[in-house]
Structure 1
Amino acid sequence: MNILIFLGSVRQSSPPKPARLGERVALACQRVLRANFPDSTIELIDPLDLEMEPVFKPHFAYASQSAPQHLSELATKIEAADGYVMVSPEYNHSMSPALANLLNHFGASLFSYKPSAIVTYSAGQWGGARAAVGLRTFLGELGCLPVSAMLHLPKAHEVFDTEGNYQDSVSDKERWDSYFNRTFLQLHWWCEATRNQREIQDPHNLISDFKQAPSQRNAPD
């Protein structure tokens, strides 16, 4: 199985600790997924590793073969993936603008017919739960429908260290693992199911992708 974890933060640090809080959460997701599914490829996509243009221009807006290499490489990874984990903090009761910016660089056809999992976090007590509400709709429009179980991680700086491992002060690590697995086992099940079905029949041959003009999706006049 091939799963991409998208980190939805470009902050260099997060209060109340100097290290990036989102990176801790994303690394924890990667650790748990690798432990459960050792034969799978679990890759973390960090927007700080990508050189985004100052003026927004998505990958699909470039002429053929002229897109920046880093966008084309990521587009290839997205298309080849079997599922996605979206890690987001909460901004004004909504998903991270950094995550929206990153995902909006790519067309929905790359993500579609695959599952996703929503992971939100905060330094406070709510765990970014309200961000997940809008994120469900966003991912639905991309075609990578989120599984029903979500992860909300309050006071994440008290749970995870900078490597994504549990802090020594965390007493019930097994319960935390169970909480993660509630979501990731669902994700893996759907990854297998959709991959098997894509091998039987390419869904893009059933419903044509939007390629040229919005009118391709319009109802008849």
Structure 2
Amino acid sequence: MDYNIAVIYGSVRHHRKGMRAARFITEQCINRDHDATLVDPTDFDLPLLDKMYKEFEDGEAPDKLEQLAQIIRKADGYIIVSAEYNHSIPPALSNLLDHFLEEYFFKPSGIVCYSKGHFGGVRAAMQLRSMLAEMGMSSIPSILPIPKITEAFTKDGIPNDDAYYKRSAQFLDEFEWYLRALKKEREHDTPY
């Protein structure tokens, strides 16, 4: 079964290297016959959170926010691609995610994290895991860390080490299990 997956990238820096990882994981989802959409925060230019999407009257949300809401609502699950800034997540990622809430409920998330150094963004991933759970899209147990992002992929998202194909396949196998399980339960019923 194919699923609709929103791959949410979290950096807005000019020379951001993590887009390489975001392109890679999006392509891996597409190769598995999923409808995967790469969400780049620079395409939506959201202001610092003042009003959540749900706080706008029908038809009153800004066009870019409405476009993003369509992607978020139709997704069966989310893959979050996060850098590590000061041992935490990028502010642009938090801001984008915070514009929504109920749209995420009872859908899984997976975390792809990266850094310029050896740890691959895992410290940010631990903070992100807590945030995603609070938002109703708990993350799967596995993460896909990518150390030395500048060396790991080409600009087009092609790994310089073929081991990333195996690692991403294992990560996506687990993510798909949660996609299947939670979609089945959402179709049956949800607690609220």
Q: TM-score range by the shorter chain?
A: over 0.9
Gaps of 5+ in 1: 14-19, 208-221
Check whether the contact 2:83–2:114 (CA below 8 A) recurs between aligned residues: yes
Cα distance in structure 2, aligned partners of 1:198 and 1:110? 12
2:13 matched residue in structure 1: 11
Larger radius of gyration: 1
Matched length? 190
Check whether the contact 2:8–2:79 (CA below 8 A) recurs between aligned residues: yes
Gaps of 5+ in 2: none
Cα distance in structure 1, aligned partners of 2:69 and 2:30? 23
2:23 matched residue in structure 1: 27
- Taking a change above 3 Å as real, the CA distance of residues 55 and 110 of structure 1, as seen in their structure-2 partners, is closer
Per the TM alignment, residue 32 of structure 1 is displaced from its structure 2 partner at its CA by: 1.6
- Taking a change above 3 Å as real, the CA distance of residues 82 and 135 of structure 1, as seen in their structure-2 partners, is same
Cα distance in structure 2, aligned partners of 1:51 and 1:187? 29
Report whether the alignment pairs 1:176 with 2:164.
yes
- DSSP-derived class of the 2:27 partner: helix
Considering only aligned residues, what root-mean-square deviation do their CA atoms show, in Å?
Answer: 1.4
TM-score by length of 1: 0.82
Cα distance in structure 1, aligned partners of 2:70 and 2:76? 12
TM-score by length of 2: 0.93
Report whether the alignment pairs 1:74 with 2:81.
no
1:100 matched residue in structure 2: 94
1:217 matched residue in structure 2: none
* Paired amino acid for 1:99: L
Q: 1:161 aligns with which of 154, 159, 174?
A: 154
* Paired amino acid for 1:70: K
Cα distance in structure 2, aligned partners of 1:11 and 1:51? 13
Cα distance in structure 2, aligned partners of 1:150 and 1:54? 28
2:42 matched residue in structure 1: 48
Per the TM alignment, residue 54 of structure 1 is displaced from its structure 2 partner at its CA by: 5.8
Check whether the contact 2:49–2:99 (CA below 8 A) recurs between aligned residues: no
Matches within 5 A, 1:69-218: 69-106=63-100, 108-167=101-160, 170=161, 173=162, 175-201=163-189, 203=190, 206-207=191-192
- DSSP-derived class of the 1:117 partner: strand
